[in-house]
Homo-oligomer: A and B are copies of this chain.
């Protein structure tokens, strides 16, 4: 039970709880109880509840966004090489696929993805600003790639479409594991990652390319 073990167990438990009950709905006591750690350990290792949340986000978001940037760069490079604009679906996939892949990559990632989905609409200012700062570089890169793929589209329109896309995506991430419960008529939601990725890309690509 070394220092790092405790620290990581707290991060794991916090990830689960924050995703399930939200920031304000989760107490440090609930987190430490689930982690089998002492209440004081949180402040010792992380300083405060807010910095704990920041650490939870950073641990997973940094590598995820690195992967997203790599994929976006690969799509852009391929387009440059062939001297053509990148294709919309390829750009969108470069942003979305790493997220869905990541979901199955390690235990806890599922909860984290829910957390990310919620962070976009979180009321708490501190956390939202923190999260936005971490997302800004890769979102800017996504915006520029889409602008290159859709040169005729006014940037204001693209800006809003990007918002629509992020909304569809974050909502999906939040609901991916309980969409079945909301099915209107006994529909099997069939939420395997690959199918869902295709469905989302079909929808978003068409929306992005809309000319009406």
Contacts and interface: CB of A to CB of B under 8 A. Distances in A.
B175 A171 contact: no
Interface in A159-211: 159-161, 163-172, 174-175, 179, 182-185, 187-190, 196, 199-200, 202-210
Contact of A199 (B140, B157, B187): B157
A212 interface: yes
A151 interface: no
A124 interface: yes
Query: Assembly of this chain: how many copies?
Result: 2
A59 interface: no
Q: How large is the interface on A (under 10, 10 to 19, 20 to 34, 35 or more residues)?
A: 35 or more
A175 B163 contact: yes
- Chain A, interface SS category: helix
B203 A161 contact: yes
A21 interface: yes
A20 B2 CA distance: 41
A143 interface: yes
Given A155-B185, A171-B171, 17 more contacts: A121-B174, A140-B184, A143-B184, A155-B187, A157-B199, A160-B199, A161-B203, A163-B172, A163-B175, A163-B179, A164-B204, A165-B168, A203-B207, A203-B208, A203-B210, A206-B207, A207-B207
Interface of A: 19-22, 24-25, 117-118, 120-124, 132, 139-140, 143, 155-157, 159-161, 163-172, 174-175, 179, 182-185, 187-190, 196, 199-200, 202-210, 212
25 contacts: A22-B24, A22-B123, A24-B24, A121-B174, A139-B184, A140-B184, A156-B187, A156-B188, A157-B199, A159-B183, A160-B179, A160-B196, A160-B200, A163-B168, A163-B171, A163-B172, A164-B171, A166-B171, A167-B172, A168-B171, A171-B171, A202-B210, A203-B210, A205-B212, A206-B209
